[in-house]
Amino acid sequence: MKPTILIVDDEQHILNAINRTLRDDYNVILSLDGKSGLQVLREQEINAILSDQRMPGMTGSEFFIEAQKIQPDTTRVLITAYSDIAAVIQAVNDGQIFYYIEKPWEPENLKLVMERAVERYQLIKHNRQLLQELEIVNQQLSNENIILKRDVANKYDFSNIIGNSNAMQKVFELLKKVIPTDTTVFISGETGTGKELIARAIHYNGPRKDKVFAAQNCAALPDTLLESALFGHTKGAFTDAVSDKKGLFEIADGGTVFLDELSDTSPALQKRLLRVIQESEFQPVGSNEIIKVNVRIISATNKDLLELVQEGKFREDLYYRLNVFPVHIPPLRERLEDVPLLADYFLNKYKLQAGKKISGITDKASRSLLSLPYPGNVRELENLIHRAVILAGDGGEIDINHLQIDWDVNKNKSATPILAPLESETRSLSEIIEDFEREYISKILTTNQGNISKTAKELGLSRAGLYKKLKRYNLN
């Protein structure tokens, strides 16, 4: 479709001449005065207007003032005689016209000016559409962002970290104190105890929650890749560095960097980490540029980092920089009273996911859940319940035969269930837990031929903690 333009002139033969020049390229509308020209503008979209200045009644520039109010984006072009130059200057200064054509006009020149005029109009229109689309996309993004943030915040809300045991309540007390600060946190605990869950909860409940939480599993990458993941690199810094890349420390500026499993890092990387922690600055791989950042650091490991320091495998100065505020998450077998709560929590989670109605867990199955040593901790329990939900029938309960207990994995810690499902169980929960603990410690102690250090380590206890328990249970 041809673009539509409007020509206003009080002389019919001039209108006809202009029409002949332009009609091949445009849909041309002719008006003999400003008033009828304004009527046209009210009725349809006009790309450009070409108007004579001298007309009886309304002059060209007076007409343009009104035209601008109706279709402000339309390009306005004035045709004038040399004697009207003052009017042209005025019209240009007032922003009413974009081009003017001097009489007598050349057809080729007229064509060229109108081509530009229409092009200008279409560019403005296109721009406006793009802006509108951008605004819509922005709005959508910001909506999605709000939803995402709400989702994330809900997910890491403390109500989703289960733990009624004294041990976990103590952890929560510690967290309450450290969350509102910028303090560097060091989380220790066996695999599957919830270290990452807690690291995220610290970030998403703290003052940096609207900024990035960047997690890096330091054991997952070889050294050079880990360096570039954390600190970024410049193009050509190494063979595969085809373009500049920002590292997590830069991406998470203002937020939190979670260094997971950092015990295995090389001396060179430990040195770099020390610098970024001490000076809040670093250099991307292959770059001389020094980048300053403000990040909160949370680190986690399931190894005994102090032992690695003593063995000379981990920098002592870095250890103390990271271990400003230690949070230890006890293994699940030391807080078995959390097992029923966790089991219920995971049951709800996975039955919703599976769209199944499952009314609960039978007593037998519950007791059997309390009889496991859980070397994989909460993750192991979670997987157990997840599988049970898949196996259980819709509308029924989770029973012992739905619990696919991997006795092989658990064998090392406890060969047989200390608590076989008993029809005639009469003990209270705390008595069952105590019995379990006594028997379990005694077993591990026997396997280790009475070696206290080994046993304490395997149980995830300190030596003093183990002595206390031995005394309490009268074990030798």
Ligand X SMILES: Nc1ncnc2c1ncn2[C@@H]1O[C@H](COP(=O)(O)OP(=O)(O)OP(=O)(O)O)[C@@H](O)[C@H]1O
Choose among 376, 367, 427: nearest CA to 398. 367
Please list every residue from 265 through 304 that binds ligand X, using CB under 6 A.
302
- Per CB under 5 A, does 196 bind Mg ion? yes
Residue 157 CB, shortest distance to ligand X, in Å, is 11
Mode of pairing for the β-strands spanning 291-292 and 281-282: antiparallel
Six-digit token string for 128? 């406006």
Residue 257 CB, shortest distance to ligand X, in Å, is 16
Please list every residue from 179 through 208 that binds ligand X, using CB under 6 A.
189, 191-197
Q: 255 and 295 in contact (C-beta within 8 Å)?
A: yes
Phi, psi of 47 (to 5 degrees): -75, -40
- Per CB under 6 A, does 378 bind ligand X? yes
- Per CB under 6 A, does 362 bind ligand X? no
Nearer to ligand X by Cβ, of 315 and 335: the residue is 335
Residue 249 CB, shortest distance to Mg ion, in Å, is 20
- Per CB under 6 A, does 334 bind ligand X? no
As a whole number of angstroms, the distance between CA 33 and CA 373 comes to 96
- 3-state DSSP of 239-305: CCCCCCECCHHHHCCCCEEEEECHHHCCHHHHHHHHHHHHHCEECCECCCCCEECCCEEEEEECCCH
Mapping DSSP to helix (H, G, I), strand (E, B) and coil, where does residue 174 land?
Answer: helix
Q: Quick one: 152 exposed, middle or buried, by C-beta within 10 A (0-12, 13-18, 19+)? A: middle
Among left, alpha and beta (phi > 0; psi -120 to 50; other), residue 254 is left
Please list every residue from 142 through 171 that binds ligand X, using CB under 6 A.
161-163
Residue 260 CB, shortest distance to Mg ion, in Å, is 5
At residue 462, what is the residue type?
A: S
Q: Give the binding-site size for Mg ion (rule: CB under 5 A).
A: 1
Residue 165 CB, shortest distance to ligand X, in Å, is 10
The option from ligand X, Mg ion, none interacting with 193 (CB < 5 to 8 A, set by class) reads ligand X
Nearer to ligand X by Cβ, of 228 and 302: the residue is 302
The option from ligand X, Mg ion, none interacting with 379 (CB < 5 to 8 A, set by class) reads ligand X
As a whole number of angstroms, the distance between CA 191 and CA 164 comes to 20
Choose among 128, 104, 108, 111: nearest CA to 50. 111
The option from ligand X, Mg ion, none interacting with 37 (CB < 5 to 8 A, set by class) reads none
Nearer to Mg ion by Cβ, of 130 and 220: the residue is 220
The option from ligand X, Mg ion, none interacting with 27 (CB < 5 to 8 A, set by class) reads none
* Sole window of 172-180, 204-212, 374-382, 392-400 interacting with ligand X (rule: CB under 6 A): 374-382
Residues within the interface to ligand X (CB under 6 A)? 161-163, 189, 191-197, 302, 378-379, 382
Residues within the interface to Mg ion (CB under 5 A)? 196
